[in-house]
Structure 1
Amino acid sequence: MTDLSLRMPNTRLRAVLNLGMKRAASMALPARLSGPELFGDWDDDAQVSDLHVEFDIGQLHLETSTSGTEHHFHTPAGEHRSSSPWSIGDTRQLLEWASLLAGDFHALLPNLLDDITQAAAWHDSGFDLYICEVEEPAQLDLLEIEVEGELMTLPWLGAGGVTHDHIDGENHPIALAWGPGESEPDQPIAEAWTDPITGAPRSKALPGVDWDTIGLPADEVLPWLEGIYLNHHVIPDAEGTLLTAVLQRLGGLDTE
């Protein structure tokens, strides 16, 4: 069981960014769809941006490029579905709003993501204010976010080295891989995932592992892995938190 009393305190970050027109912010979503979770990404090679608009009963995904914006629907679990889970009227309003948001987000990339990355780096260095650079006068936006504190964890104290990465499966599982000496860690020794009921990290040791060779017993490795999982896969970092705040501001969902 992970000791959550060892978490660092939350911190604040203020970022002044150039967010442009914010066309979607002037539209009102249907009351039933007023609180979506927003996620955005950018493929630099393809020059394509992704926007995910997620609700309890379904998801809307939009891909935007120089050719325009395409959309498709998903189940709450992320599986593709052929039609909208919402009514015709709600779907029409949602698509109009989300298409404007996706277009405005795309127009700001990749410079906006560079600013978000720099702001997060400033925060990680102990600064609480980041101001973007602009070449000419522009209306800028001030965003203030609270960054959740990470769990204090020790470095790996066993023999050899370890890495962790996502694996296939439900509830966002990761595998901890181990390797002797300075070799590439390629032997899975444990797994961690999110408890679907509590949201807390859970873990298990894999069968057939020689824990004497690993250099730590399983009952020490598993709480350590849960802490790593919490920090890297559960607690949102400054960059992710700021990106969410940006999308909410672009969509008119924050309380500016």
Structure 2
Amino acid sequence: MTDPTLRMPNTVLRVVLDLGALPLDIPPLPPRFRHPEFDADWDEEEQVAGIFLGFDDGEFHLDILEDGVEYHFHHADGSSSDDSPWPAADTQALVDWATGFVLHVAPRLPDLLEDADEAAEWHHVGLPVYSRDYGPVPLEIIDVELEGEQLMLPWLGSGHIADEHLDGPDHPIALLWNPEHDDPDIPIARVWLHPKSGEPKARAEAGVDWAAVGLTKQEVLSWAESLYLNNHVIGDPSQMIIRAALERMAGLDR
């Protein structure tokens, strides 16, 4: 179990961003969609922006292409479909709202992703405010609360270590090790998110030679839980900044 006394405190990063003219003149959202979990990406090669809206009972994915907007849905079980998991009237209202929203976001997304990465770097070196020279344009000031990481030592065992996602419930990962080369391929532990506590939980794989690994089983499990917390539970700063910016553009600041 990770030690909560070794967590860094949460911090607030103030970011100053060019998000275009706000508020947007778009149709209203039905109340059931008022608290989406946003995400976004940009495919530089294909010049395609992707906007993702997640809800407790499904997801709505949109791709913004040169010739228009394409979209599809994901049901609560994760399956992809052209059919909506929601009633027809609510779905049409969501499509009408999201179409206007993503047409505002898409042309700004490459610069916004770059700004978010740079702001995260400023945060990493301890700066509390991020801004750059955007010129004479309307700017938005957003305070983003960023979770403190678990303090942990670098890998002090032998060989090399890595982790990879596994299929299965509770978002498992495998901790991989190799005594010689930097492409680890030997599973030594499995870590997942405990469904009740919401904390990482690790167990060792059978047959591991802990003397060869160079750390005790308990030391490896504790290290693996801290790695999971930092890399798979705590929000990535740049991603948190993007989400806060998308919420501001949507007019849905929590």
What's the TM-score once normalised by structure 2's chain length? 0.94
Find the aligned partners of 1:139 and 1:38 in 2 and give their Cα distance: 23
TM-fit CA distance, 1:23: 6.2
**Aligned to 1:110, what secondary structure does the other structure show?**
helix
Work out the CA distance in 1 between the residues paired with 2:26 and 2:66.
Answer: 24
Aligned-partner Cα distance in 2 for 1:187–1:115: 38
Report matched runs for 1:123-162 at 5 Å: 123-134=123-134, 136-162=135-161
Report the counterpart of residue 21 of structure 1 in structure 2: 21
| Contact 1:42/1:49 (<8 A) preserved | yes
CA distance in 2, matches of 1:232, 1:9: 17
Q: Please state how far the C-alpha of 1:195 moved relative to its aligned partner.
A: 2.0
Q: Contact conserved, 1:22 with 1:104, CA < 8 A, in 2?
A: no
The runs of at least 4 aligned residues of structure 1 exceeding 3 Å deviation read 21-27
Any residues of structure 2 matched to 1:1-256 within 5 Å, and which? 1-22=1-22, 24=24, 26-134=26-134, 136-254=135-253
Unmatched 5+ stretches in structure 2: none
Query: In the alignment, residue 214 of structure 2 is paired with which amino acid?
Result: G
Cα separation, partners in 2 of 1:67 and 1:234, compared to 1, 3 Å: same
User: How far, CA to CA, are the matches of 1:183 and 1:249 in structure 2?
Assistant: 42
Amino acid at match of 2:88: I
Q: CA deviation at 1:183?
A: 4.1
Secondary structure of residue in 2 paired with 1:109 = helix
> Using the alignment, how far apart are the partners of 2:163 and 2:82 within structure 1?
35
Cα deviations by residue, 1:129-174 (Å, 9 ceiling, x for unpaired): 111322x421111111111100111111211121122233332221
The CA deviation at 1:181 is 4.0
Distance 2:246 2:25 in 1: 10
CA distance in 1, matches of 2:27, 2:139: 20
CA RMSD of aligned residues (A): 1.7
**What is the rounded CA distance, in whole Å, between the counterparts of 2:187 and 2:96 in structure 1?**
46
Whole-angstrom distance in 1 between the partners of 2:33 and 2:195? 23
* In 2, Cα distance between equivalents of 1:114 and 1:43: 13
Find the residue that maps to 1:203 and give its secondary structure: strand
Residue range with higher mean Cα deviation, 213-222 or 192-201: 192-201
Q: Which moved more, 1:26-35 or 1:209-218?
A: 26-35
Q: 1:141 to 1:183 in 2, by over 3 A?
A: closer
Gapped regions of structure 1 (runs ≥ 5): none
CA contact (8 A) 2:58 2:85 kept: yes
